[in-house]
Amino acid sequence: MPRTARKKGLSHIHHIMSRSISEIQLFRESSDKDKFMSIVRKYQKANKFLVYSFVLMDTHYHLEICDNGADISKFMKSINQSYAQYYNKKYERHGHVFADRFKSKPIEEDAYAVTASVYIHSNPKDIKEYTNNIQDYPYSSLKTYLVNKSPFSDIININFILERFGKNINTARKTYLELVLRSTSSDIEKEIEFEEKEQCYVAERHLLIRDFKPENVVDFVSKYTKKAFCIHAKYTHKNSELKSVCVFLLRALCGFSLTGICDVIGNTTTSNIWRLYEKGVSLVSTDERYKDIINDFIEYSKTA
């Protein structure tokens, strides 16, 4: 039976939740939560999505994000898969880590955006240690909302929510915190409830770049790096790096599936394409040579 198409809001904002299978904790230690957030940071840099709110609990997490034109099914799958690989290796286990595909609910109104954010930040009230001081919970974006600097201030966009509480940032912070402290999960649980039936995400054609041909991507990467190469050639160190960048651009910005990229390159497997994509994500996220490649590619696409 085919999956139900996952709804997508016109605003491109989503409330996302994912939990572990019943027999394990998703995050056993603080270092696991640190690792998960480092993965989110990595894919955020590579895919340019925005994070408005988040919380990591022991068995599940919530994210409130704006996809910014990227395909949430692709980058969320990458985030969960990367964390599952880390988890299984660390704890010497095999098999599924997440109970199912991530759940998402489109956010089409400002009021629901605030409601989702408040609900997300209210989650630590269920932890005895933080019932009366949820602003001190270390794995939530609430502290980022309340102070100028926090461990996650580089990846959290607080303005979208706080602007709903006035132009004065200090007043907005105070009013928002009061709202969070007054609220309980049960107050708004029904409103944020996810549909139980299995869904899949069907991407609309609103990617940052669309209908861009693979040869244009190869041409751009060759010009950008000043290195001519053939995307169909056998692996060499040079080809592997440039192929990885091409695969990243094709998947993250042009909407190609792993199978579609296999067809482009030829004589390869989806697992090889996944490895190239992961390498491309790391290069774009951490290598100074590629720090501007996404914006430059978008500009190039307008004239190609």
CB-count burial class (<10 Å; 0-12, 13-18, 19+) for 30: exposed
In-domain check, residue 235? yes
Say if 208 falls within a structural domain. no
Distance CA 297, CA 250 (A): 11
Q: Torsion over CA of 199, 205, 209 and 211, rounded to 10 degrees?
A: 120
Q: Is residue 23 domain-resident? A: yes
pLDDT at residue 238 is higher than 80: no
Burial of 106 (0-12, 13-18, 19+ CB in 10 A): middle
Mean pLDDT of 138-163: 92
Looking at the fold, whether 277 and 170 belong to one and the same domain comes out as no
**Domain count along the chain:** 2
**In a domain? residue 286:** yes
The reply to whether 42 and 188 lie within a common domain is: yes
| Residue-range definition of the domain harbouring residue 218 | 214-303
Instruction: Give the contacts of 239 (CB within 8 A, at least 6 positions apart).
Output: 229, 230, 233
Quote the pLDDT of residue 215. Answer: 85
- Residues 197, 242, single domain; the answer is no
pLDDT digits (tens, 9 = 90+) for 120-137: 999 999 899 998 899 999
On whether residue 206 sits in a domain, the answer given is no
Q: Same structural domain for residues 133 and 252?
A: no
Query: In this structure, are 195 and 222 located in the same domain?
Result: no
Domain-embedded: residue 209 = no
Q: 81 with 28, same domain?
A: yes
Is the model's pLDDT at 195 over the cut of 70?
A: no
Q: How many CB atoms lie within 10 A of CB 6?
A: 21
Could you report the per-residue pLDDT of 36-59, keeping only the tens digit for each? 999 999 999 888 899 999 999 999
Token pair for 140: 């939530």
Q: Is residue 52 a contact partner of residue 161, using CB atoms and an 8 Å limit? A: yes
Please report how many Cα atoms fall inside a 13 Å half-sphere around the Cα of residue 299, on the Cβ side. Answer: 6
Query: How much of the chain exceeds pLDDT 90, in percent?
Result: 40
Q: What is the predicted pLDDT for the residue at 267?
A: 82
Angle at 63 between CA 198 and CA 121, to 5 degrees: 120
Retrieve residue 191's tokens. 């409103």
Read off the amino acid at residue 129.
Answer: E
Same domain (yes/no): 103, 249? no
Token couple for 27: 């995050």
pLDDT at 157: 94
> Residue 28's domain is classified under what CATH number?
3.30.70.1290
